[in-house]
Amino acid sequence: MAVGPNDVWAMDFVHDQLATGKKLRVLTVVATLPRYVPVLDPSHSYRGEDVMQTLERVFSKTG
């Protein structure tokens, strides 16, 4: 349960496909309180290391 800003973040992937047939994944992270999106990170492929790098980058900016 979120009590203050940045207490709880939710993340998931959104999938889509371009007109060329190439797949696109977007890592979405949502802060539940206040409701805002600190990152939308599109990529054609994601590995665990990529997710960690994105999260570390966002955490360093938002605290």
Please give the chain's pLDDT, 63 residues, in tens: 777 777 888 999 999 999 999 999 999 999 888 888 999 999 999 999 999 999 999 889 876
Residue 41 belongs to a domain: yes
Other Cβ atoms less than 10 A from the Cβ of 31: the count is 19
Residue 50 belongs to a domain: yes
Residue 58 belongs to a domain: yes
Residue 4 belongs to a domain: no
pLDDT at residue 53 in the model = 94
Overall number of domains in the chain:
1
pLDDT at residue 61 in the model = 86
Going by C-alpha positions, the residue among 45, 53, 8 that lies closest to residue 26 is 45
Quote the domain boundaries for residue 26. Answer: 9-62
Residue 14 belongs to a domain: yes
Q: pTM above 0.85? A: no
Residue 2 belongs to a domain: no
- Quick check: helix, strand or coil at residue 16? strand
Residue 1 belongs to a domain: no
Residue 17 belongs to a domain: yes
pLDDT at residue 7 in the model = 81
pLDDT at residue 20 in the model = 96
**Quick one: CA dihedral 36, 40, 14, 1, positive or negative?**
negative
